[in-house]
Amino acid sequence: MRPTARQVAELAGVSVATVSYVLSGRDRPVAAETRQRVLDAARRLGYTPNQAARSLRKRRTQRVCLVLSSLGGVPSDERLATDLHEMADARGYSVVTLAVYSEARAKAAADVLRGGIADGALVNVAADHLTRALLGDLAGTGLPTVVLSNEDGPAGCDVVRTPETEACQEAVEHLLAEGRRRIAFLAHRHELYRDRPVGRILGYTRALDRHGVPESERIVLTGADDRVAAYQTATELLRSATRPDAIFASSDRAAISAIWAARDAGLRVPDDVAIVGVGNIDEGLITRPQLSTVGPLRHDYTDVVRLLFDRLQAEEALPDREVVRPWTFLRRGSS
């Protein structure tokens, strides 16, 4: 027969309530030695909590949802997912992931979340797809939600922001100070289909406006969404008669592809073309030359993930919170 929590409690010499506290991951004051006895007893008996019964009893799923723009191997998304999984494991939750890369997928994700697939959601999606209105509808249902966005967040959500516009402007002004005039911007597709520039492309345009660079000398193209597209776009740019003398890419992956494209075109980085990316991924440290980049000094999302579990485990509704994660421009060999 399936072992029970009572049998675990008897073997460990504790109460059934203590077994529940330890194996559910709830933050209750249980001594380390007692916690270990419970874990050892559960392991010896082969006991695992009946998740379905617990969910029905508590009207909770013990799941959290990670909502991303894609499942395309973005390094920062991978780190966010890792930190979420680790904290979820420690608290007895599992993680489901939804990819939102279009308006249709955004509506489908919102429907799934409203349907109760998870007890809370961590959202890192372009605002063009998962709009403020959709997020507001979700927050209105009482779903604990944390949103990584520089847009205005709806009431009922925690919002995590990054000063990426300012850091990107600093990077482009560095290129201008080095004497670069024809600075190309490799954009994500969603960055070009906005009523007004925001974020990274806004930092680019602000820097050029400040230094009086005319529209005729500005080059804005898509290419930051994946490595192949970036390589192809950079190759065409660098082989043109009016090639740029610098490339500012909206992702480090695209910038690294641009370095490869420059090398294959017989150009020297940064002598012939300077290259800067966004993201500060570790791979930028092993390019030759090392990649100049804009981004956080370290990738650690435990503070972001903790916001979600704070909401899940709060006895009373928490006020809306805002966290700003600092970004900076890191000058290296490629510029």
Helices of type H across 141-274: 164-177, 189-192, 199-210, 227-238, 252-264
Q: What domains lie within the chain, and their CATH numbers?
A: 5-49 (1.10.260.40), 61-162+299-323 (3.40.50.2300), 164-295 (3.40.50.2300)
pLDDT recorded at residue 213: 92
CA-CA distance, 172 to 149, in Å (whole number)? 22
Q: Which sign, positive or negative, has the C-alpha torsion 98, 104, 108, 111?
A: positive
The pLDDT score that the predictor gives to residue 28 is 62
* Dist. CA 205–CA 173, nearest whole Å: 10
Give Cα separations from 91 to 1, 37, 165, 260 (angstroms): 27, 18, 36, 44
pTM of the model: 0.76
Q: Which residues of 151-161 are buried (b: 16+ CB within 10 A; e: fewer)?
A: bebbebbbbbb
**Mean pLDDT in each 10-residue stretch from start to end of the chain (335 residues)?**
84 87 69 87 81 50 86 81 91 87 82 85 75 75 86 81 93 96 91 78 95 90 90 95 94 96 96 96 94 92 92 82 92 96
Question: What integer pLDDT is reported at residue 50 of this predicted model?
Answer: 60
**What is residue 329's predicted lDDT score, i.e. its pLDDT?**
96
Q: What's phi and psi for 90, nearest 5 deg? A: -65, -20
